[in-house]
Structure 1
Amino acid sequence: MKADIELELQLKNRKEKGGYRYLKKSDNRMIDFSSNDYLGLAKIKEIHNHSVNFIDNGAAGSRLLSGNKNYHEELEAYLADFFKADSALLFNSGYVANLGVLSSVPQKGDTVLMDELSHVCIKEGVRLGRAKYFNFKHNDIKDLEIKIQKADGNVFIVVESVYSMDGDQAPLRDIVEIAEKYEAAVIVDEAHSTALYGKAGFGLSCDLGLENKIFARIYTFGKAAGAHGAAVCGSRTLKEYLINYSRQFIYTTALPFHSVNTIKNGLKYRRDNPELWEDLKLKIQLFQSQLSQNVTSLDSSHPIQGIISEDAKSTVEFADYLNQSGFDIRPILSPTVPKGKERVRICLHAFNSEEEITNLCQHINQYFQ
């Protein structure tokens, strides 16, 4: 078909540029330095237990039809308490939650200001809405203030608490201060801080004591919490609004019981085992201390680490070298990251041994000698 021919040409072009993507199954013989399972909770059997009485295999409908169950409302009450919010509303993933909030809350005549390195789901959510939107320079408070002074209507500032490709934190205190000065609303995607930061794993906003100054917080459970799904935390008014106006909530089949149960079990396990995060922080320090000075690495105190390469081709070659050495690591290429900032993304985990981390660093150092 003609359509297939056009698609084949586009794929050929991507292959020639070195940015071709393909599905790759994880090899159990390789050491995991790739997954977002930072604390290893996805592999703990007692979290994913089936010892509870059978309820259902699926919610069998959207929440507004037949799919609203007691277990959804019980978990939302638990999440609101856990994340220090007035309310919580479940979504099927962090990607969908961001689409749901950003496509429905900002209105025509409003302005959305988002960090230029925001995840694609943030950008797509804003584009689905009717508000005007602009990027501000990454973590640049001065540029944010310049943009906010030119903004119209209600202003929404959208950031990630921890950025998924660089592993650096947003300056949330400064952002909240700017927002209060100009009466703007702050929306924070907590995907890569959920279940990590804070004594109980309640994320960076709560760890900084800013939860009451942030309009909406999006928590994702498919990473450090070791489960699946997401929740939007904020006021009761925000929850009721999303139930009425978020298409991504209204028209989606609700999460099944097993997913809901696993979310609660995962967060409870993290709360009861704070040593997992404390141990992981020591392993992050070990990794950074073992790299030689001629290795260009990210400045990150998060499990997300990375080695910057010159271009897509050299990044793929470096990743292949590490794969052949027994490390499950993936290259990150443009357009996921800007051209010239392609990198091998390395995720450290609580279950990675000191020997494995040291061995990885030795291979990295040898490659760049």
Structure 2
Amino acid sequence: MCSRYNAYLVVDEAHAVGVSGRGRGMVQELGLQDEVFARVVTFGKALGCHGAAVLGHIKLRDYLVNFARSFIFTTGLPPHALATVLAAYNQLAGDVSAQNGLREIIGFFSSEAERLGLGCFINSTSAIHCAVVPGTIKVKAISTALQERGFDVRAILSPTVPAGQERLRFCLHSYNTKQQVTTVLTHFRELLHQ
């Protein structure tokens, strides 16, 4: 479509970095890095640091350096943060076992949610799964109850999402076990129907 309509594609890889393409993202996994105008990658999720980068053509870089106010009035990442990001990328490139384990737990989470009849989840193939639970009071109560049971599931409230579309955010990790997934989803189902 971009070719047909002479459009530029910008891809947000926040949930793909560290998970797809040997850690480099979905665009890289699909071999489309030369076809995409710009990619936004974050360092604060799978890479365990902070910050982000926009990847693209040198003309895009020059434009952002000169006209992006949020870039102009900020400082660069400190050397220790850059070292952390580099170490994380090196780890991801050298050992895919964590990525494979994460993909397995993501698939298991989706199948367990379906098995338990939890149709409130937004379809996702990433490590982030959201269950729509309308109403600030209800979603906060469920989040608090899950946290009290040892699961750090966060409520996402209006105005971050539209009113009536409040949700719970489940963040999966390669070290999560299938038993943990089954337990948290069972607790969630129980709390949802109270």
Q: Normalised by the size of structure 2, how large is the TM-score?
A: 0.89
Structure 1 CA distance, aligned partners of 2:69 and 2:165? 35
Residue number in structure 2 paired with 1:25: none
Contact 1:295 1:365 in 2 (8 A): no
CA distance in 1, matches of 2:5, 2:31: 20
Conserved 8 A contact 1:294-1:368: no
- 1:314 is matched with 138
Name 1:187's counterpart in structure 2: 10
Alignment of 1:324-363 (within 5 A): 324-363=148-187
Contact (CA 8 Å) 2:154, 2:168: kept in 1 or not?
yes
C-alpha contact (below 8 Å) 1:287/1:357 kept by paired residues: yes
Report the count of equivalent residues: 191
Distance 2:81 2:60 in 1: 24
Residue in 1 aligned with 2:34?
A: 212
Q: Of the two structures, which has the highest relative contact order with CA contacts closer than 8 Å and spacing of 6 or more?
A: 1
Partner Cα distance (2:89, 2:104) in 1: 22
Per-residue CA distance 1:320-368 (angstroms, 9 max, x = gap): 2212222111111111112222111111111222222222122123224
Structure number with greater Rg is: 1
Cα RMSD of the aligned pairs, angstroms, is 1.8
TM-score normalised by length of structure 1 = 0.49
Tell me the distance in 1 between the aligned counterparts of 2:35 and 2:130. Answer: 32
Q: Which residue of 1 aligns with 2:48?
A: 226
Q: Report what 1:277 is aligned to.
A: 99
| In 2: Cα distance, 1:243 partner to 1:301 partner | 34
Task: Give 1:295 shift.
Answer: 4.9
In the alignment, which residue of structure 2 is the partner of 1:125?
A: none
Q: Is the 8 A contact 2:120 2:131 kept in 1?
A: yes
Identify unmatched segments of 5+ residues in structure 1: 1-177
SS of residue paired to 1:213: coil
Matched AA of 2:67: Y
Is residue 20 of structure 2 the alignment partner of residue 197 of structure 1? yes
Q: Please tell me whether the aligned partners of residues 319 and 344 of structure 1 are also in contact (alpha carbons under 8 angstroms).
A: yes
Taking the aligned partners of 2:106 and 2:129, their CA distance within structure 1 comes to 8
Structure 2's unaligned 5+ residue stretches are none
CA contact (8 A) 1:312 1:333 kept: yes
258-267 vs 316-325, which moves further? 316-325
Residues 279 and 245 of structure 1: CA distance in aligned 2, closer, same or farther (over 3 Å): same
Contact 1:295/1:368, CA 8 A, preserved across alignment: no
Report the CA distance shift for 1:309/1:241 in structure 2 as closer, same or farther (over 3 A): closer
